[in-house]
Amino acid sequence: IDAFGRARTVQAAITTYPWAGGGITGTYIATSLRQVAQDDWREKHPATGTRVDPVIHFPANGFGPGRAEFKIGGDEGNWENFSIQWDGWIDVAEGVTLSTRSDDGSRVWLDLNRNGQVEPTEWGSNAWGSGQGATLRAVHGPLHAGVYAIRVQYEEGGGGNAMSLLWSDAKRSAGVIDGQHVVPPAAFLRAAFFQVGADTVASGAGQPLTLAGPITGPGAVRKVGTSALTLAAAASYTGTTVIDAGSVLCAHDGALPATALSIAQSGALALDRHDAIVASLSGAGRLDLGSATLTVGSDGKSTTFAGTIVGTGGVRKVCDGMLAITGTAGWTGATILDGGSLGMGPERTLTTAVLRAPLSTDVSLAAADARGREILVTIIVPPDAPADLGIGAYVSDRHGHRFQRHHPRPLRPGRQQVRFSLSADDHLRAESGVPDWNASEAALCDRAGIFFWSASASRARISVDAVSRAQAAGSVEQPRLTELRCDGDAGATLAGRTGERWRVSCVPKPFPANPYDPDEFALDAVFTAPGGAELRVPASLVQPMTASDRGDCELVSPVGDPAFEVRFRPRLPGTYTVRMIARWSGGRTLEEPLPPLVVTGQPWDDYVRVDGVDRRFFSTPQGIFWGVGLNMRSVNDVRSKAAMATRITPDRGSLSYRAYLDRLAWAGGNAIELWLSAWNLGLEWKADIRGFYGNGRYNQEHAWQLDRVLDDAWARGIRVNLVIYNHGQGADGNGDAEWDHSSYNVVNGGRLQRAAEFFTDPWALAGQERLRRYMIARYADHPAILGWKMWSEVNLTSIGGTIVPWHERALARWKALDIYQHPVTTHWCGDYRNPDRQVVALSALDYVCIDAYHGGGLVAQLLTDSTLHPGAQQGLSQFGKPVVVTEYGGSAFGTSQESMVAQQTSGLWAGLVSGHATTPLLWWIEWVDQHDRWLPYKAIADYVRGEDLRGTESGSVALTGASPGGALWTRAWKTPTRVLGYVLDAQWGTAGVPEPAHAGATVTVPTLEAGRWTLEWWDAGTGARLSSAPLEHPGGALTVPVPTFQRHIAFKLVR
């Protein structure tokens, strides 16, 4: 409705009704909320999607389209680990019983007394809080006829899933299951809203409008446009009141109903002299009380109003919850607190605390930042309060790590003031399992409060007026490095050994607010080596940890205080000079020399790098490094469960990896890939996930676990291809997109609107540089690092046309910071045809990572094409760089069990004879582990041990194979002194079946130098050498008989 041409008055009463057939709105959440008995999940749990479902009827596993869009695990036929809340209205006939049939738990709320409030007795449960198979239970009824507000909550943990909302009404049915009828679409009603004003002014619209009649019904009222609205009658509608724009004047007592009120930044409300009662207040607009009193809070919920409140009237807060007024609290009338808490601006909190003694009683305060804060509390203690009533103050981080201090004396009856200082230099006591209070923890605390305690039972009411404010600045602390500790400290000198980590640590004073931001504080150690070379090594913040095995998880706990630590691994013996250089924001610097570092031992350099002569391969000073292994991107994989019928491996952190590494080491493996994803060992993510603290702050538990995994890998001779960013972190337009959860996203406290900005925005690029510096400072000295892989599947991100300049810039920075010069790469999904050739050709990109997924055919041929396809801009060996396939095994959605066996095994050998720098790394780690498929790695590791594939005359050779048993795929890697050959049953390599015996087969090497050779036959499945015999060859082609075999066989020609 709007007024056109001139001011208008509407005398008629207005009633809003729900409308039929609209379905019910489902809010989808990508995690199981089992046992989360919260009235409205939407208040605290981020939705990953919403949709209107015509009915709630998902009888088995699939919940229709939208799983990938909603970022829910599993596949389209079996969603996993998610929750749904449906909200709407339902029209029920007399005597109907309402039921659910669910796997796992479900519960249903009906507004039985129609007061708009969720009450505990209005919930009906079907195994709520526990798992179950599909089970039918009645949740409400028999019911009286009418329209009810309805809310349905459903959660699914793992395994099968099902959810149906059913009733006993056979006349209105969308189907029958277990003898009950599916509630049909026509039974669901959706609330209408009554809009006043126009979003755009046209044809004389937007004139002042007065509504002189009452507004009733279940709908909401929304004011839009710039016009003025006057409400001149009492209202009883049960929906919310939203003032998006323009002004609203209350010209009658009760002109606003006792429901939620929201005033947007462009909106204004004036009460004039008419008192109003609202359930809650939110928004950022202007509220003029006039001389009236606004009573707020009847729904007991906590809300924030960031706007301005003025007038000579007053504010009365009732019921539970906090109304935090973070804008201007400018009214001059009374402030009455009859329940909950009232935040008055950014520092002041008024509340009445009802003691729960002998339990402690917490009072949250409006102010949050704990650094350098003090809390001044004015308390009125009633005469009936306990004589031993104590008070304390606390600060905590967003994950509940709490630090507190107590007032030394009991409170006395009457009015008194207590002051608490909560700076980083004060002595606060940490709760059990929480790090000790220190400057690093203080930097993370963003919540504050007070608490009362007594040994006596009491429900006394304590009046509290608390102000949390910044302490007055003291004198500027002189920069210094304290608690300096060096390995091998002998007083006049420091001792180290080549090839072993040497450390120096310290705690800077003043301690930086963000210890991960080098613009606030940066510490470097400058080493001058015996030959005069200068090596600059950055420091990183390291929190010592301890861990225990709970059986189902690894419990990681801080022990001691964090410090900035320099990690250096000397490669040459001799005497090094060492200088510590510290820089604080504001330009303050400090340089502190250390005693000489005397390094003993033999020259050492066991890092993997691209070979200096044959740049298709990796090497160390000891010789070629040809990796044998698989992708261990994370401990478990929901896609593997769906595609390959594996079980979800309990995530026991570094302990799970230790078990995987032990089995790979047994098999002779020496290479894996590991992802720093949010769900695995990632360091930076949004702050509402345990262990993470938002943009620019790093997860110390994960950092410590990564230390442990690298140590375990190195102890077993295994190198790690370390992925910095998985593609979902930089994508907002595909099924794996994780942008909604990124700490760079503006909705999570970042500054970016879209994922594409991650690759161009200066603030985002600076954040990437901070993480890069931290990674190199903490891990670059570790020889277990095979290489830095900047992205997995970069072509699935939103990088677009900035792919070349982003990689140029990032590569240059990795090279500049890493004194150990680990190789650096990036990665593309699909297969060898997808890499951006301009990026591959960059001289700073040391090696190339790709996938080798396919929809059918022979994976061995795909792997050969990856390096050797003769087409223009096709095979990647043309770039003269190592090629590593880091994902393969069927398609991205797996394949049959038989085919996976064939592809896993044949892929390893095909990579060898096609010039890959490592075996291809199979994606399906849980399939390998749970089916005990480790032997294929032992087979090829035993075969290739001692072989050197390098050389300017080395290359892949196509062989000719023939067999009465069927087609063969044959190929070899040939050097002047070696032919490493592989013979594969082509049909088995494609499908995994059948497995005929090949008797009478031959294989032909097209060209072989004349001379005496030794022919060895190897079992490609076990790695056992079957036979060895000499042969004299006159030169040219060589045809040899193949021993009878099934599946595949390998050979060597050696001279």
- 158 and 251 fall within a common domain: no
At 145, the pLDDT band (50, 70, 90 cuts) reads confident
pLDDT of residue 201: 46
Cα separation, 75 vs 65, in Å, equals: 10
Asked if the structure places residue 570 within a domain, the reply is yes
Burial, 589: exposed, middle or buried (Cβ in 10 Å; 0-12, 13-18, 19+)? exposed
* 446-457: pLDDT as tens digits: 889 999 999 999
For residue 180, the enclosing domain spans: 18-190
Q: Does an H or E element contain 147, and which?
A: strand 146-156
985: tokens are: 């049953």
Statement: residue 928 has pLDDT above 60: yes
Backbone angles phi, psi at 891, to 5 degrees: -95, -175
pLDDT of residue 112: 87
Task: Please name which of 511, 482, 495, 490 lies closest in space to residue 580, comparing C-alpha atoms.
Answer: 482
Backbone angles phi, psi at 986, to 5 degrees: -65, -35
Other beta carbons within 10 angstroms of residue 338's beta carbon come to 11
> Model-level pTM greater than 0.95?
no
pLDDT of residue 18: 67
Q: Return the amino acid letter for 801.
A: G
- 31 and 142 fall within a common domain: yes
Mean pLDDT value of segment 902-923: 98
3-state secondary structure of 686: coil
- 140 and 33 fall within a common domain: yes
Could you tell me what percent of the chain has a pLDDT over 70?
A: 97
Cα separation, 941 vs 57, in Å, equals: 53
Averaged confidence pLDDT in the chain: 92
At 191, the pLDDT band (50, 70, 90 cuts) reads low
Asked if the structure places residue 7 within a domain, the reply is no
Task: Please name which of 194, 203, 148, 143 lies closest in space to residue 167, comparing C-alpha atoms.
Answer: 143
Statement: residue 66 has pLDDT above 80: no
Domain boundary among 316, 346, 376: 346
At 312, the pLDDT band (50, 70, 90 cuts) reads very high
Cα separation, 695 vs 749, in Å, equals: 7
* 820-878: pLDDT as tens digits: 999 999 999 999 999 999 999 999 999 999 999 998 899 999 999 999 999 887 999 99
At 372, the pLDDT band (50, 70, 90 cuts) reads low
Mean pLDDT value of segment 331-355: 87
- Range with the lowest mean pLDDT among 141-145, 811-815, 1025-1029? 141-145
pLDDT of residue 204: 64
- Domain CATH code at residue 560: 2.60.40
Cα separation, 784 vs 665, in Å, equals: 14
HEC letters along 495-545: EEECCCCEEEEEEEECCCCCCCCCCCEEEEEEEECCCCCEEEEEEEEECCE
Domain boundary among 292, 316, 346: 346
Mean pLDDT value of segment 267-284: 94
Asked if the structure places residue 950 within a domain, the reply is no
Asked if the structure places residue 844 within a domain, the reply is yes
pLDDT of residue 71: 83
CB 634 within 8 A of CB 682: no
At 21, the pLDDT band (50, 70, 90 cuts) reads low
- 790 and 655 fall within a common domain: yes
Statement: residue 307 has pLDDT above 90: yes
* 759-791: pLDDT as tens digits: 999 999 999 999 999 999 999 999 999 999 999
- 229 and 340 fall within a common domain: yes
- Range with the lowest mean pLDDT among 126-140, 446-460, 475-489, 501-515? 126-140
pLDDT of residue 369: 57
- 368 and 445 fall within a common domain: yes
- Range with the lowest mean pLDDT among 92-106, 313-327, 465-479? 465-479
Task: Please name which of 808, 715, 816 lies closest in space to residue 759, comparing C-alpha atoms.
Answer: 808
- Domain CATH code at residue 171: 2.60.120.1560
Cα separation, 451 vs 1045, in Å, equals: 77
- 164 and 258 fall within a common domain: no
Statement: residue 888 has pLDDT above 90: yes
At 19, the pLDDT band (50, 70, 90 cuts) reads low
Domain boundary among 313, 346, 379: 346
Statement: residue 733 has pLDDT above 80: no
Cα separation, 672 vs 786, in Å, equals: 9
Asked if the structure places residue 566 within a domain, the reply is yes
Asked if the structure places residue 696 within a domain, the reply is no
pLDDT of residue 613: 96
Statement: residue 691 has pLDDT above 60: yes
Statement: residue 320 has pLDDT above 90: no
- Domain CATH code at residue 871: 3.20.20.80
Statement: residue 616 has pLDDT above 80: yes
Helices 654-666 and 700-715 cross at an angle (nearest 10°) of 20
- 172 and 52 fall within a common domain: yes
Count of domains forming the chain: 6
- Domain CATH code at residue 1040: 2.60.40.1180
Statement: residue 682 has pLDDT above 80: yes
- 22 and 155 fall within a common domain: yes
- 24 and 95 fall within a common domain: yes
Asked if the structure places residue 1029 within a domain, the reply is yes
pLDDT of residue 593: 97
Burial, 361: exposed, middle or buried (Cβ in 10 Å; 0-12, 13-18, 19+)? buried
Statement: residue 220 has pLDDT above 90: no
Mean pLDDT value of segment 541-552: 94
768: tokens are: 């990437």
- Domain CATH code at residue 445: 2.60.120.260
Pairing of strands 162-167, 57-58: antiparallel
At 474, the pLDDT band (50, 70, 90 cuts) reads low
- 807 and 924 fall within a common domain: yes
- 154 and 215 fall within a common domain: no
Asked if the structure places residue 595 within a domain, the reply is no
At 937, the pLDDT band (50, 70, 90 cuts) reads very high
